[in-house]
Amino acid sequence: MKIFYSGSVGSNDEIDMFIANTIPSLLQKTGHAVTTWIYNPDSTSPSEAFEDVAKQIVQADVFIGEMSRPSQTLGFELAYALNNTKPCLYLYYHNRRAQPGAMLLNSPSRLLKIHPYKEANLPKILQTFLAFSEAQQSSTRTSFMSTTKIDTFLSNESLRRGTSKGELIREILNQHIDEQ
């Protein structure tokens, strides 16, 4: 699997080293190809052009962002990855007060996973996310003819839940399967 990993540094503390080196190293040890992009607002270069980063995100299978330091750039990368239907993992260090706001926490996107982490539980979080991502890649597309009654229900319920009709159908079917 191809992973696009992104993080933001800038205070030269030990978490910066963890973000820039340890997390990419953990991902590489899983046997996946990892493209690492570390944003430092104090040092930018022409190689950080939109086209370059966008191409790398599109070519990746998944996006993993260490989001402990607020960054508009990382937020844009996350949005770009989600817009390109990439499974995304939003990580933040447990004691950095970096939990995202309600807009992200309550996102109905099936592709977005958000986790606080400590050094001890990070490998398990990454393993769980990568397993989820592999399952997403093996998903198949299907279509069906609907009745007006079903379509009205799906339209109203998806609007109420803030999700797409397709996501609602997946939720209903998964819930039914789990109840079996």
Is 165 exposed, middle or buried (CB count within 10 Å of its CB: 0-12, 13-18, 19+)? Answer: middle
Across the chain, which has 180 residues, the per-10-residue mean pLDDT values are: 92 82 91 91 68 93 92 91 94 83 82 92 95 84 85 88 80 88
Cα–Cα distance measured from residue 54 to residue 6, given in angstroms and rounded to the nearest whole number: 12
Domain boundaries, the chain: 2-137, 148-179
2-137 topology per CATH? Rossmann fold (3.40.50)
Distances (CA, A) of 171 to 11, 24, 87, 127: 42, 33, 17, 23
Backbone angles phi, psi at 147, to 5 degrees: -90, 165
What's the confidence (pLDDT) of residue 167?
A: 78
pTM of the model: 0.78
Per-residue model confidence (pLDDT) at position 50: 81
